[in-house]
Amino acid sequence: MRHINYADQWGKMLTPEIVGMLTKIHEFKGEQNLFIEAHADELTELMEIAKIQSTEASNRIEGIFTSDERLKKLVMDKTTPKSRAEQEIAGYRDVLNTIHENYDYVQVKSGIILQLHRDLYRFMGSEAGGYFKTADNVIAEIDGNKKVRFNPVPAWETPDAIEKICEAFDEASKDENIDPLIVIPMFVLDFLCIHPFNDGNGRMSRLLTLLLLYRSGYIVGKYISIEKMIESSKETYYEALQASSTGWHEEDNDYIPFIVYMLGIVLASYREFSSRVRLLTTAGFTKGERIGEIIKQTVGTITKTEIMKKCPDISQITIQRALIDLQEQGKISKVGGGRYTKYIWNWDKEK
């Protein structure tokens, strides 16, 4: 098993690109705290939407699906799972809620990780979760033929390997000079390279990412789905993971590609949070006016689907009605037609 020491390694990751990203995220974090203190009530709806999106996206990455209607009912705990997929979705919901509500009290320890994995599979019987892998596994790429992309740590070494990364993270966390935004991706990368479970490694890695971010004060994932951000850039995620895992067993891997990717996800989440909060908390804005403001702030054209993604709390019917009203008022123009319809703000008619 390789030597793990984040406290010694983290300083080597401070490239100019990473330092620039860290600076921007730190600025957003300060802004985040002010928003949350001043607008807690307005953010409740944003948080509920993020839970639905996070549960859907993280499971969908692993090919686990259900209908939109069933998903919302499951996340809101208004129904019971009816299939294996829904059992896995309900388990993710429960662990996500645990992290959202109790992150200050959930420590990064091997036993806690096992408990979270147990709860991920709580609807599938006592033997499904809560245990490290019992046989060696591989990370494979299936594209017509199965191609082994990475050989994780053997099953017999797994408990000790998880203990080591938890201890290394705990040691680094005690040093106030070490930026947790560097160490968190390093920990997650090592967790994925160990691949400690027979199943659920990807989902656990995303849940642990949220937990570690929250414990470090970066709680943007409560309001903007980080899992959805990862899903929307899935190919880049796998490329970064591949780049950073090469040479891992020989202690010759480069953490930087994965760190850059994850910092990019956090930064994009903060930018989205800032944008949505400003629209939510602007005095006197109706839903229709929010839609108009989104179009106005967009450089070039925007589709109805893109508007819906930015306003998940507004129904499709309301968005359609607002688009018609804005066209009748001459504030926006429709470009194209059918499935290719886009909208643009009429700047030339601004007074």
Long-range (24+ apart) CB contacts under 8 A made by 15-20 are 15/256, 17/260, 18/182, 18/256, 18/259, 18/260, 18/263
Neighbouring CB atoms inside 10 A of 199's CB total: 17
pLDDT at res. 215: 96
Instruction: Report the alpha-carbon distance of residue 129 to residue 140 in Å, rounded.
Output: 22
Q: What is the reported pLDDT for 93? A: 96
Span 66-81, pLDDT tens digits = 998 999 899 999 999 9
DSSP 46-92: HHHHHHHHHHHHHHHHTT----HHHHHHHHTT-S---SHHHHHHHHH
> Where in the chain are all domains bearing CATH 1.10.10.10?
286-349
- pLDDT value, residue 222: 93
pLDDT over 90, % of the chain = 69
Please tell me the distance from the alpha carbon of residue 54 to that of residue 252, in angstroms, as a whole number.
33
pLDDT per residue as tens digits for the range 6-16: 999 999 999 99
* CATH dotted code for 286-349: 1.10.10.10
pLDDT over 80 (residue 140): no
The closest alpha carbon to 251, from 201, 208, 190, belongs to 190
Average pLDDT over residues 335-345: 88
Whole-number pLDDT of residue 97 = 95
**pLDDT of res. 281:** 63
| CATH 1.10.3290.10 segments of the chain | 6-279
Whole-prediction pTM: 0.85
Token pair for residue 222?
A: 């409560």
Return the CATH fold of 6-279: Fic-like fold (1.10.3290)
Residues 6 or more apart in contact with residue 13 via CB below 8 angstroms: 182, 186, 255, 256, 259
- The answer, yes or no, to whether residue 144 has pLDDT greater than 60, is no
Look at residue 351 and tell me whether its pLDDT is greater than 60: no
Q: Is residue 48 scored above 70 in pLDDT? A: yes
Q: Which two tokens stand for residue 114?
A: 């096992």
pLDDT over 80 (residue 277): no
Of 130-134, 171-175, 255-259, 302-306, minimum mean pLDDT range: 302-306
> Which of 240-249, 280-289, 328-337 has the weakest average pLDDT?
280-289
Q: What is the distance between the alpha carbons of residues 218 and 336, in angstroms, rounded to a whole number?
A: 41
Over residues 192-214, mean pLDDT: 96
